Structure 1
Amino acid sequence: MSNIIEEIRYFSCGYCTNEMSRIFKGVPKKKLNFYAGVFLIKHRKYGYVLYDTGYNIRLLKNTIKYMIYKKLNPVTLKREDMIDNHLKKAGIKAEEIKRIILSHLHPDHIGGIEYFSDIEIIITEECFREYDKSSFKSLIFKEFLPKDFEKRLKIINSENRNKNIYGIESYDLFNDGSFLLISINGHSKGQCCAFFPEKNLFIASDVCWGMELLLLTEKMKFLPKMVQDNFSEYKKGVETLKKLAEKGVKIIVSHDPPERIRGVLDE
């Protein structure tokens, strides 16, 4: 297996800002930007796969729901930050995207999907059940999803997970060992992460909010804990990342600073 995954590109599609001392106990005041990371993966045979789609400019409208969201997560976003503009600048047409993986359905991951029509959308079975239930805590803003969302879905379920990577079950997207999808709960049910064996690279979505914040997990305050779907599961996900890092796996989370992500991808 060599160069099946020809390239992985990163795009920053807006960000929210929060105060470190509001998230973790016993840390100094420091504002931190949490970028909405989007990844474009090019498979040698199957072409472009988009992993997440970033924020949507419509989130800046002053509806009650959006205002509550922005109060907790002040969002900075310009129209040119959205994924369709990034792809245009890169010379890639929307119709060149063959599949879209949504790691989970929070607003900073689904915002740009409206610019891609008639494309297969991949989510995990647990994520679909959460979408179907759609409780307030799920933070799923369905208005950002296309009207034909359910018709376009490819749902990954437990029956078709088989590849065992470092003790973790995974789904082999193209049946060639190059692109493995792994479900990790905690932040969101059925959160879909991606592992690329030939690059020894793990894209961990929001398993944590930044690799530099990994060791602060136990210091997380009450409100940020409540934002997680299940904090006990969140801590298990963090331990999974620690174990992968100990084995030398390169790890990126979606909200890492752009300079860190680009540095890892360039290694």
Structure 2
Amino acid sequence: MAQPPPDLKIPSSSTTVSVRIIDTTSHISGIPTSIFMQPDIKGFNTLTCPAFSFLIEHPSKRSLLFDLGVREDHENYAKRIVDQISSRGWKAIVKQGVREQLEANGVSGSSIEAIIWSHWHWDHVGDPSTFESSTALIVGPGFKSAFTPGYPSNLNSPILESDYSGRELRELSFDQGLKIGNFEAFDYFGDGSFYLLDSPGHAIGHICGLARVTSNPNSFIFMGGDACHHGGEFRPSQYLPIPDSISPSPFDMKSSTPCPGSLFEPLYRDGDGKKPFFAIARGEKGVAHDADEAERTIEKVMEADADDSILVAMAHDESLLHVVDFFPKYANDFQKKGWVKESRWLFLKDFGEAVGH
């Protein structure tokens, strides 16, 4: 029996923002799953994934970007990052930068008030220098002391001085006494339309976003960054156990024949399928800055994910490619379009070999 979704106690508001999910045209491959999650599951050894950015537009005409994906000229990252990508055999292809996409679809890059980095990793930071100096760069707690000055002043820094030079570098402090579920929260516009959420663990200063996209009834888009890298890190849960019948089938979305949930029982980490398939990778392999904290963040994500009025969108969730409408289209009507239920179990396709499908 599933537990009812917890009350996240999101403050009431009638103000909403418009959100457009940007497929940054980044295609990332060759990164082993074992550095993010455990246990190993047969046939699912590497991540091949997109990277999403989010355009948030407030009724006051103030606009934000949440993450930028991979920069087109990724050979120009800080030397530490270039060496890391090369030595580990990771690959990234980018067809078009975020600013190019905006301008090509009638959104002026100069209208962006701020770029929010979920965290400092190379597949999220993009190239802020393509935006005006009037565009601020917003980062999470602990960022400045850990990473500034950037490269080349600090040869070991993973970020570039040019990412923030000449613009405001604003580090958040979650001291408003506000909580959304169990997340410490920051009300960006001060009207309940868009929150930033303290979500440490994966990286120093990691933050998520929560945008109210409809009111009466409320619905929200949760911008997860790298709080999780795969749906199997936060599903199933005590709130969302694997259903007896999964439709659409993760192996054939166009088929009217559902997939039996029992097919995945051999992969459960517990007896009743109410724990996610994966836990955070630990030890020498794991890349999480603080694995214990990362697990606590995932528990908070699971609480948000239990609510059908919240679309949880992780930055690299490949399954969303097949469901959502991307920029320049809007995502505010995701609930009417059924994106939450349609996408929820599509990640299970990655377990096809493990379950003999």
Same fold by TM (over 0.5)? yes
Which of residues 130, 135, 140 in structure 1 aligns to 2:158?
Answer: 140
1:5 paired with 2:11, answer no
Segments of 5+ residues of structure 2 without an aligned counterpart are 1-12, 213-217, 235-275, 336-357
* 1:106 match: 121
Superposed CA deviations along residues 144-165 of structure 1, whole A, max 9, x for unmatched, are 514225xx12222133x33221
Q: What is the alpha-carbon distance in structure 1 between the residues aligned to residue 130 and residue 298 of structure 2?
A: 33
Contact kept? 2:185, 2:198, Cα under 8 Å: yes
Relative to the length of structure 1, the TM-score reads 0.83
* 2:350 match: none
Contact kept? 2:229, 2:314, Cα under 8 Å: yes
Which of residues 210, 214, 234 in structure 1 aligns to 2:230?
Answer: 210
Aligned-partner SS, 1:158? coil
Q: What is the alpha-carbon distance in structure 2 between the residues aligned to residue 61 and residue 133 of structure 1?
A: 17
Aligned-partner SS, 1:81? coil
Q: What is the alpha-carbon distance in structure 2 between the residues aligned to residue 103 and residue 139 of structure 1?
A: 17
Aligned residues: 261
> Structure 1 residue 7: deviation in Å?
3.1
Superposed CA deviations along residues 208-256 of structure 1, whole A, max 9, x for unmatched, are 112244324327364541x111111111111111122224433111111
1:122 paired with 2:138, answer yes
Aligned-partner SS, 2:107? coil
User: Which structure: greater helix fraction?
Assistant: 1
Aligned-partner SS, 1:121? strand
Matches within 5 A, 1:173-188: 173-188=188-203
Equivalent AA in structure 1 for residue 208 of structure 2: C
Q: What is the alpha-carbon distance in structure 2 between the residues aligned to residue 144 and residue 75 of structure 1?
A: 23
Which of residues 146, 163, 167 in structure 1 aligns to 2:178?
Answer: 163
Contact kept? 2:193, 2:211, Cα under 8 Å: yes
Q: What is the alpha-carbon distance in structure 2 between the residues aligned to residue 10 and residue 233 of structure 1?
A: 29
* 1:25 match: 39
> Structure 1 residue 41: deviation in Å?
0.9
* 1:240 match: 300
Contact kept? 1:124, 1:192, Cα under 8 Å: yes
Q: What is the alpha-carbon distance in structure 2 between the residues aligned to residue 92 and residue 64 of structure 1?
A: 33
Structure number with greater CO (CA < 8 Å, separation at least 6) is: 2
User: Which structure: greater strand fraction?
Assistant: 1
Segments of 5+ residues of structure 1 without an aligned counterpart are none
Aligned-partner SS, 2:51? strand
Q: What is the alpha-carbon distance in structure 1 between the residues aligned to residue 42 and residue 87 of structure 2?
A: 21
Which of residues 158, 167, 170 in structure 2 aligns to 1:154?
Answer: 170
Larger Rg: 2
1:89 paired with 2:109, answer no
Aligned-partner SS, 1:38? strand
Distance change >3 Å, CA 71–CA 90, structure 1 → 2: farther
Distance change >3 Å, CA 128–CA 219, structure 1 → 2: closer
Contact kept? 1:217, 1:235, Cα under 8 Å: no
Distance change >3 Å, CA 75–CA 255, structure 1 → 2: same
Q: What is the alpha-carbon distance in structure 1 between the residues aligned to residue 314 and residue 87 of structure 2?
A: 23
Contact kept? 1:49, 1:101, Cα under 8 Å: yes
Distance change >3 Å, CA 3–CA 75, structure 1 → 2: farther
> Structure 1 residue 4: deviation in Å?
2.4
Which of residues 76, 86, 93 in structure 1 aligns to 2:92?
Answer: 76
Which of residues 236, 256, 262 in structure 1 aligns to 2:324?
Answer: 262
Equivalent AA in structure 1 for residue 84 of structure 2: I
Aligned Cα root-mean-square deviation (Å):
3.0
Distance change >3 Å, CA 223–CA 90, structure 1 → 2: farther
Q: What is the alpha-carbon distance in structure 1 between the residues aligned to residue 288 and residue 138 of structure 2?
A: 22
Equivalent AA in structure 1 for residue 305 of structure 2: A
Q: What is the alpha-carbon distance in structure 1 between the residues aligned to residue 25 and residue 144 of structure 2?
A: 24
* 1:228 match: 288
> Structure 1 residue 140: deviation in Å?
2.4
> Structure 1 residue 50: deviation in Å?
0.6
Contact kept? 1:209, 1:255, Cα under 8 Å: yes
* 247-256 or 16-25: bigger deviation: 16-25
